[in-house]
């Protein structure tokens, strides 16, 4: 124990030195901010590198090292969350990053396949103090013993499974199992589907895969960023500390409702509305709505110009519209071409009126006359009023809001009734993919932005030229003031000799110091280097269209469980999700071991699903607690029964979740101290109140499920499998058959 403590002390001493060096280097580099050209570039690079190291060190403070490998040749490697080197970069690292190839035997070696190891040691620490050692002997011919041997090799894993929950997911870097390691280190390219039932660790595996990919493909993924998509904000808060604890901060975590910049989905759809909005057919509905806004005159539009009235009839406009549509450009981007066609048409109409010889019908106007007429028409407000009426600029928000306010003509009567809402209503999660689809169909008319940028650029160049001129005048004066023949004077160079005004302006443009993840969050068209989707079975076809736009390389990891599909718009089938985008070019793997849920609880949950799907096979639990879940009738006072059950189930340490229908939350919260309803739950509280959808992907020491008869089978399956220790069920209404049998045998 003393030897490992001395190593840990030395490790943290080195880390503290690095922190000091890093902070000093960053401060020194920032102090050089006024230095020009190359120094500025070097400063930016140094700040990024040093700040990244400082962030990684600070993120993993308290648990840098967790393992040791003793090789057959006497070499010893210590394994940690990040890598640390001595000052001599050529020497073996002081601490090896868990993602490095040399660390892989820590997760894969067995007595049958020792992978060159004599011993594998798990090091438990509290802050900077070593609290326990667990040794696994892999070379059975080695008689050396330390007194810390773990005969089963499962002590560290079981301790982690039995530990009290904190309301935040912890990393599993100390306890990654062999089947999980193979998924974490799977090749970067392509689509990998990771299926697994409750408690199989699929979310943790996906997050560690993100950390591994960022380590293995740093140059690409740090530049393009990794996107992790979760089912709800509570879930994102729950997993939010995992990647920083592994030294990775350049990842964007978001729900689908947060993937359209500037929009925050705060309203809630009915299941019927969400199903209609999420259907793939909505892409065609939006396309039709855009085409309908590319109007024809009814019957004509009169444009007055210089005492003449020019008539734009249906036939003339239809020709212009068809030609522009043939370009297959987004609506707003195509407007420039439509404007050109209409201006040309009006120019021809006007030229026929004023520039035709009345005797022989020949044109009296040359090309310059026609150009002048066109320019004058382009300054006529009535022309632009007509163009706006025929081909208006449209924003995605306006298009979707108008469509949902008046959906008749685009949807069936029942579907129209389901989605109809006032224009002023807040956005829902299901609206976000519609906004994204609309943005694709509409595009951006960026002429004004380009013109503004060009003006700003010209101003910057002019300013830079002025600076250079002043520099040149100053240097010339200095040179002329020197005595003739002075060698120093003959070597004087002006700024003009090494840089021109445009390059000088470029050097002093405002640098964007945002991380790739921050820039990606603000850019709807960002292409991510890799995307991880949790609870992927719940996403609608329209949500998948949004995500596939953000992954043009189709580099994705999808994790989920079709048996837990609950959303009305959820696809639930991997083939249905992926066939439209990658065909059969995707890989599927399954995690079959339940690390979270004790067998007593899992048996009950599986029985609920088997009542509807007799062939259902749940993941096998690795542990049994000997504590059976209970099912009770709450009698006439449901809130009182819940309060009593909470007092019974609340652990000394850890967390309790009450999972109940949303309609009951206010009544229940009124009888529970410190429990709130209506807001996003704070999962770090001892007791939280959730509905089944909010509990997806989460885990608690104890769970109380209220009114299970109000849930569908998948929602109930989710609710019953959140507990790591204790499960209770309270009801006043009819019970599902499987729970009725459990109550009868309790």
Residue range 69-77: average pLDDT?
A: 93
pLDDT at 55: 63
Residue range 540-566: average pLDDT?
A: 94
pLDDT at 36: 47
Rg (CA), the chain: 33
CA pair distance 311, 139, nearest whole angstrom: 93
- Of 170-174, 292-296, 692-696, minimum mean pLDDT range: 170-174
Q: Is residue 94 within 8 Å of 14, Cβ to Cβ?
A: yes
CA pair distance 212, 226, nearest whole angstrom: 11
Residue 400, number of CB atoms within 10 A of its CB: 24
- H or E element at residue 4: helix 2-31
DSSP state of 496: G
pLDDT higher for 617 or 477? 617
Q: What is the pTM of this model?
A: 0.84
457 three-state secondary structure: helix
Each residue's pLDDT tens digit, 183-212: 999 988 899 999 999 999 999 999 999 999
pLDDT higher for 677 or 491? 677
**Burial class of residue 490 (count of CB atoms within 10 Å of its CB; 0-12, 13-18, 19+):** exposed
Residue 459 has pLDDT above 80, yes or no: no
Residue 677 has pLDDT above 80, yes or no: yes
pLDDT at 471: 61
**What value does the mean pLDDT of the chain take?**
87
pLDDT higher for 719 or 737? 719
Q: What percent of the chain has pLDDT over 70?
A: 85
Give the confidence band of 490 by pLDDT, cuts at 50, 70, 90: very low
pLDDT higher for 416 or 10? 416
pLDDT at 506: 59
DSSP state of 652: S
Residue-level length of the chain: 746
Q: What percent of the chain has pLDDT over 90?
A: 61
pLDDT higher for 569 or 325? 325
Each residue's pLDDT tens digit, 356-413: 877 777 878 889 999 999 999 999 999 999 999 999 999 999 999 999 999 999 999 9
pLDDT higher for 140 or 5? 5
Each residue's pLDDT tens digit, 79-109: 998 888 876 666 778 899 999 999 999 999 9
pLDDT at 34: 47
Residue partners of 707: CB distance under 8 A and separation at least 6: 638, 660, 661, 664, 730, 731, 732, 733
Give the confidence band of 520 by pLDDT, cuts at 50, 70, 90: very high
């Amino acid at each position: 124990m003393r030897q490992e403590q001395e190593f840990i002390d030395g490790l943290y001493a080195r880390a503290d030195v690095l922190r000091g060096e890093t902070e000093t280097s960053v401060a020194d580099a920032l102090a050089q901010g006024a230095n020009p050209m190359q120094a500025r570039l070097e400063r930016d690079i140094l700040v990024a590198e040093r700040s990244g190291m400082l962030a990684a060190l600070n993120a993993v403070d308290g648990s840098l090292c967790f393992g040791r490998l003793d090789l057959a040749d006497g070499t010893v490697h210590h394994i940690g969350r990040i890598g640390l080197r001595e000052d001599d970069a050529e020497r073996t690292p002081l601490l090896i990053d868990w993602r490095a190839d040399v660390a892989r035997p820590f997760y894969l070696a067995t007595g049958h396949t020792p992978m060159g190891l004599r011993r594998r040691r798990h090091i438990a620490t509290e802050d900077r103090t070593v609290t326990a050692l667990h040794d696994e002997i892999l070379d059975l011919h080695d008689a050396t013993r330390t007194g810390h041997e773990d005969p089963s090799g499962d002590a560290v894993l079981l301790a982690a499974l039995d530990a009290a929950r904190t309301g935040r997911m912890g990393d599993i870097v100390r306890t990654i199992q062999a089947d999980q390691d193979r998924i974490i280190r799977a090749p970067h390219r392509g689509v990998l589907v990771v299926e697994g039932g409750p408690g199989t660790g699929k979310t943790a595996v996906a997050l560690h895969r993100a950390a591994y990919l960022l380590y293995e493909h740093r140059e690409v993924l740090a530049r393009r960023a990794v996107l992790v998509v979760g089912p709800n904000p509570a879930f994102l808060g729950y997993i939010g500390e995992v990647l920083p604890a592994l030294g990775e901060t350049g990842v964007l975590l978001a729900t689908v409702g947060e993937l359209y910049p500037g929009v925050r989905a705060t309203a809630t759809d009915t299941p019927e509305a969400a199903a209609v909005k999420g259907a793939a057919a909505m892409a065609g509905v939006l396309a039709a709505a855009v085409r309908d806004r590319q109007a024809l005159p009814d019957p004509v539009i009169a444009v007055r110009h210089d005492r003449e009235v020019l008539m734009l009839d249906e036939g003339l406009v239809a020709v212009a519209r068809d030609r522009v549509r043939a370009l297959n450009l987004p609506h707003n981007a195509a407007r420039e071409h439509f404007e050109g066609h209409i201006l040309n048409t009006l120019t021809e109409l006007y030229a026929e009126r004023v520039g035709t010889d009345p005797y022989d019908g020949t044109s009296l106007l040359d090309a310059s006359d026609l150009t002048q007429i066109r320019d004058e028409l382009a300054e006529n407000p009535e022309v632009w009023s007509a163009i706006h009426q025929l081909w208006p600029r449209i924003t995605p928000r306006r298009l979707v809001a108008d469509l949902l306010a008046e959906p008749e003509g685009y949807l069936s009567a029942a579907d129209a009734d389901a989605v109809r809402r006032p224009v002023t209503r807040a956005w829902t999660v299901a609206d976000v993919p519609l906004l994204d689809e609309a943005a694709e169909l509409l595009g951006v008319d960026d002429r004004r932005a380009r013109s503004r940028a060009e003006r700003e650029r010209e101003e910057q160049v002019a300013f830079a030229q002025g600076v250079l001129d002043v520099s040149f005048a100053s240097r010339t004066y200095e040179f002329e003031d020197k005595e003739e023949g002075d060698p120093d004077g003959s070597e004087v160079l002006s700024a003009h000799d090494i840089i021109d005004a445009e390059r000088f302006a470029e050097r002093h443009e405002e640098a964007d110091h945002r991380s790739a993840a921050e820039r990606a969050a603000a850019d709807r068209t960002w292409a991510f280097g890799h995307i991880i989707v949790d609870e992927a079975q719940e996403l609608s076809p329209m949500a998948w269209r949004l995500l596939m736009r953000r992954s043009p390389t189709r580099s994705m990891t999808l994790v989920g469980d079709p048996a837990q599909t609950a959303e009305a718009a959820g696809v639930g089938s991997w083939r249905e999700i992926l066939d439209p985008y990658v065909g059969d070019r995707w890989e599927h793997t399954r995690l079959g071991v339940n690390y979270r849920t004790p067998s007593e609880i899992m048996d009950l949950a599986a029985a609920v699903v088997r009542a509807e799907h007799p062939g259902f096979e749940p993941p096998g639990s690795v542990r049994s607690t000997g504590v059976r879940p209970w099912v009770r009738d709450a009698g006439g006072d449901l809130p009182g029964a819940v309060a009593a059950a909470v007092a019974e189930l609340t652990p000394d340490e850890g967390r309790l979740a009450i999972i109940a229908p949303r309609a009951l939350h206010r009544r229940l919260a009124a009888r529970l101290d410190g429990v709130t309803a209506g807001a996003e739950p704070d999962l770090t509280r001892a007791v939280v109140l959730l509905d089944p959808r909010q509990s997806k992907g989460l885990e608690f020491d104890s769970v109380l499920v209220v009114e299970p008869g109000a849930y569908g089978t998948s929602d109930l399956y989710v609710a019953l499998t959140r507990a790591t220790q204790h499960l209770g069920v309270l009801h006043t209404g009819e019970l599902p058959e499987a729970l009725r049998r459990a109550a009868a045998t309790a």
